[in-house]
Amino acid sequence: MLADRERAHAPSDADIRAWCAACDTDSHADDLIASSRNAESMFVEWQRKQRTGLRRLQDSYRERYSETTHFRVYSPDIVPGFVQTPAYATALLSSITAFRQIPDDVSEAVAARTRRSQIVHDSHRRFALIIEESVLRYRIGDAATMAGQLGHLLSVMSLPTVSLGIIPFAAPRPMWPLEACYIFDDRLVQVELLTTDVTLRAPTEIATYLAAFAELHKLAVYGNDARDLITSAIASFKDA
């Protein structure tokens, strides 16, 4: 009941713009409106989103994905979901299920993620993926799983819809490693923390992540240089 009363008394967009005008802070109006509209959904605990397992969570992103044409993803620790193999996704989601102590529907969740990943073949969309070299080395699953996953990266990076950049260990770091983030066009940023899924819609926050992504892009290598990093990592797993 309290939440309902709070929503009923939330300021309208016009109220916020009028207040900003009165305070001579018009430049803050769009950010405040975005925060007001999305106050309840901005920070959502993973425990709440995953309490029934992981399949429903995978399916919950379908609308967001269908509305997006330009995806920008930065990941410092795991292969982005768009380009995960079923074996890699199984290992990853199994570890999440065990850690969260939630119902085990990993096989269904992997199937849902795999179906959703077909979007990378849609010629009307673009995927700019930046990962740290550590992603190639962190062992998610066994050595065969990692070798297969990295081989898949070699395949998908040749797709016309996908740009894959890898930031080498030895790259100078004017931009430090960040938390995993997913940028959907220029309208929404999803940031993944250990306990919370954060959704940002305020224009200045989105602009900050876009600027950070541009800096990370400068640090990454592409094409043959990226392939060399991947093939080197594959060799290390085959020797394991």
pLDDT digits (tens, 9 = 90+) for 60-69: 888 999 999 9
What was the pLDDT predicted at 238? 83
pLDDT digits (tens, 9 = 90+) for 59-112: 888 899 999 999 999 999 999 999 999 999 999 999 999 999 999 999 999 999
- Show me where the domains of the chain are located: 1-40, 41-238
pLDDT digits (tens, 9 = 90+) for 176-218: 999 999 999 999 999 999 988 899 999 999 999 999 999 999 9
What was the pLDDT predicted at 23? 73
For residues 119-148, give the mean pLDDT: 97
pLDDT digits (tens, 9 = 90+) for 152-162: 999 999 999 99
Q: Which CATH number fits domain 41-238: 3.90.1150.10, 3.30.870.10, 1.10.357.140, 3.20.20.10?
A: 3.30.870.10
Distance CA 56, CA 34 (A): 26
Which of 5-14, 26-35, 43-52 has the highest average model confidence (pLDDT)? Answer: 43-52
Distance CA 238, CA 148 (A): 10
What was the pLDDT predicted at 47? 78
The single residue listed with the structure tokens 């959907």 is: 184
Beta-bridge partner residues of 165:
130
Mean pLDDT for all residues in the chain: 87
Distance CA 145, CA 149 (A): 6
* Whether 71 contacts 184, CB under 8 Å: yes
- pLDDT above 70 (res 144): yes
For residues 218-229, give the mean pLDDT: 98
pTM of the model: 0.82
